[in-house]
C-alpha cells in the first residue's frame, strides 16, 4: 500500500517542491496573483477513511477548472448523456484551455469537450435550477456531499475578480449563443461559472472527492452512490483524455491516472479502486498545470506503480 505515513508523503512533497521556482502563479485572474508560488501541499484519502497529508494542509484554494469535472457530473445527472453530448463533444483538442480556434474551425460549432473553457461553460449552462442562486446552491450541496465537508462555499473576491476580467470566456459564450449551443443570458452564465470556479477547499477535501471518483461514485464512508457508476466512468475518462489540457497525453504516459488540474494550482487525482489525491501547488507550467503538483504525481506514480496502463 502506498504512503502510509505523513512523513513519507512529506518527503515526496519536499522533493517535488524543488520544481516550484520554475513555475509562475496565474495572473490573468487578478486575485489569483496573491498566491505564494513556493507552496505545495498534498493529501491522500483511502476508501477506509484513513488519510495522510503533507505541507500546509490548511491552505484553501479555489477549484477553477477542477470544478469542470463536478459540473459535468451534475449536468449529466440533471439532463442525461444524450442532451449533454448533443451540445458538447467528447474529443481532446490539443489546444490551450481557453482557445476559441476549434469553436470556429470545427463543424458543428460545438465545443470539443467539457474540460476546455468553452465546453465547461456549455455544461454549466445545463445545470438545472430556476435561477443562478438555486443552480449554485445545488452545485455547492453536491460538492459538500462529495467532500463530506458541509462548510464548503465559494470565494467572493476571486469570483468577482474573474467576473470583472473574463472577456475571453464571454467571447466563447457569445460565439456559442450565436450557434445555439447556449440560450441563456451571457452575464447570468458568467455569474454562475465564475462562482463555480471560485468554490474553495483544501487538499484533504479534494483528495476525498477524488476518492469518490476512484470508487466509481460511491462515498466510501457511508456507501451512498453519490454519482451514478456510468457518470463517474465518463468523468474519469475525460480526466484521462483532457484533464491536463494539451499536456494530457504526456501526463497519461508519465503518470497514468485520471486527474484534473486548475489554474489556482489544484490537482485532483483518482487512482481507480484505490484512493484519491488532492494537491495544491500554485506555481504553474506554461500549459496552466501545477508544476510541482505534476512532479509529485510523477514521483508517486513511479514509486507506487499507480499507472493504469
Ligand atoms: O475559466 C477560467 O479561465 C478559469 N476560471 C479556470 C481555468 C483553469 O483552471 C484552467 N486550468 N488549468
Shortest CA distance to 38 belongs to which of 52, 53, 59? 59
Q: Which residues are known catalytic residues?
A: 65, 68, 193, 245, 263
Could you please state the CATH topology (level 3) that the domain comprising 65-197 is classified under. 1.10.1500
Residue limits of CATH 1.10.1500.10 in the chain: 65-197
Can the peptide bond before residue 215 be classed as cis, meaning omega within 30 degrees of 0? no
Residues sharing a CB contact under 8 Å with residue 307, sequence separation 6 or more, in sequence order: 255, 256, 257, 301
Q: pLDDT tens for residues 47-86?
A: 999 999 999 888 899 999 999 999 999 999 999 999 999 9
Q: Is the CB of residue 219 less than 8 Å from the CB of residue 226?
A: yes
Largest Cα–Cα separation, the chain:
54
What is the edge-to-edge ordering of all strands in the sheet holding 266-271?
A: 51-54, 41-45, 275-280, 266-271, 259-261
Q: Which atom of ligand 1 is closest in space to residue 65's alpha carbon?
A: 9
Give CA–CA dist 199/244, Å, rounded.
19
Cα of 45 from ligand 1 centre, angstroms: 25
Q: 263 pLDDT band (50/70/90 cuts)?
A: very high
Q: What is the pLDDT of residue 53?
A: 97
Q: Is the CB of residue 255 less than 8 Å from the CB of residue 297?
A: yes
Q: Any residues with Cβ below 6 Å from ligand 1, and which?
A: 64-65, 97-98, 117, 162, 169, 197, 261-263, 288
Q: 101 pLDDT band (50/70/90 cuts)?
A: confident
Give CA–CA dist 36/128, Å, rounded.
36
Residue 77, Cβ neighbours under 10 Å: how many? 17
Residue 29, Cβ neighbours under 10 Å: how many? 22
Percent of the chain with pLDDT over 90: 91
**Could you tell me which residues are beta bridge partners of residue 284?**
24, 290
Nearest CA to ligand 1 atom 4: 64
Q: What is the mean pLDDT of the chain?
A: 96
Q: pLDDT tens for residues 113-172?
A: 999 999 999 999 999 999 999 999 999 999 999 999 999 999 999 999 999 999 999 999
Q: Is residue 301 predicted with pLDDT exceeding 90?
A: yes
Helices (H), 59-214: 67-79, 81-87, 101-105, 117-125, 132-147, 156-165, 167-178, 186-197, 203-214
Cα of 261 from ligand 1 centre, angstroms: 9
Q: Which CATH superfamily is domain 6-62+202-303 in?
A: DD-peptidase/beta-lactamase superfamily (3.40.710.10)
Q: Mutate which of 263, 264, 285 to test ligand 1's pocket (most atoms within 8 Å of Cβ)?
A: 263
Q: What is the mean pLDDT of residues 259-274?
A: 98
Residue limits of CATH 3.40.710.10 in the chain: 6-62+202-303
Q: 96 pLDDT band (50/70/90 cuts)?
A: confident
Cα of 64 from ligand 1 centre, angstroms: 5
Q: 1 pLDDT band (50/70/90 cuts)?
A: low
Q: What is the mean pLDDT of residues 244-271?
A: 97
Q: Which atom of ligand 1 is closest in space to residue 162's alpha carbon?
A: 5
Give CA–CA dist 185/182, Å, rounded.
9
Amino acid at each position: 500500500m502506498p504512503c502510509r505515513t505523513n512523513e513519507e508523503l512529506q518527503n515526496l512533497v519536499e522533493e517535488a517542491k524543488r520544481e516550484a521556482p520554475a513555475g509562475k502563479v496565474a495572473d490573468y485572474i487578478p486575485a489569483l496573483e496573491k498566491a505564494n508560488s513556493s507552496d505545495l501541499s498534498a493529501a491522500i484519502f483511502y476508501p477506509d477513511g484513513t488519510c495522510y497529508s503533507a505541507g500546509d494542509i490548511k491552505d484553501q484554494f479555489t477549484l477553477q477548472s477542477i470544478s469542470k469535472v463536478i459540473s459535468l457530473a451534475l449536468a449529466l445527472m440533471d439532463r442525461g448523456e444524450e442532451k449533454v453530448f448533443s451540445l458538447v463533444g467528447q474529443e481532446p483538442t490539443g489546444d490551450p484551455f481557453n482557445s476559441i480556434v476549434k469553436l470556429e474551425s470545427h463543424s458543428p460549432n460545438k465545443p470539443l469537450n467539457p474540460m476546455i473553457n468553452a465546453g465547461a461553460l456549455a455544461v454549466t449552462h445545463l445545470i438545472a435550477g430556476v435561477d443562478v442562486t438555486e443552480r449554485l446552491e445545488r452545485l455547492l450541496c453536491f460538492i459538500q456531499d462529495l467532500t463530506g465537508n458541509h462548510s464548503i462555499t465559494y470565494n467572493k473576491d476571486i469570483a468577482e475578480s474573474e467576473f470583472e476580467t473574463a472577456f475571453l470566456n464571454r467571447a466563447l459564450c457569445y460565439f456559442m449563443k450565436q450557434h445555439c449551443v447556449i440560450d441563456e443570458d451571457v452575464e447570468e452564465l458568467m455569474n454562475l461559472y465564475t462562482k463555480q470556479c471560485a468554490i474553495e477547499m483544501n487538499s484533504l477535501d479534494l483528495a476525498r472527492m477524488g476518492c469518490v471518483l476512484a470508487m466509481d461514485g460511491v462515498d466510501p464512508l457511508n456507501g451512498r452512490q453519490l454519482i451514478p457508476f456510468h457518470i463517474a466512468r465518463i468523468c474519469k475518462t475525460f480526466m484521462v483524455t483532457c484533464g491536463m489540457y494539451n499536456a494530457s497525453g504526456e501526463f497519461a504516459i508519465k503518470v497514468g491516472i485520471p486527474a484534473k488540474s486548475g489554474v489556482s494550482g489544484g490537482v485532483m487525482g483518482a487512482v481507480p479502486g484505490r484512493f484519491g489525491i488532492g494537491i495544491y501547488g500554485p506555481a504553474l507550467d506554461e500549459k496552466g498545470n501545477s508544476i510541482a503538483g505534476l512532479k509529485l504525481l510523477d514521483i508517486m506514480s513511479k514509486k507506487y506503480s499507480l499507472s493504469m496502463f
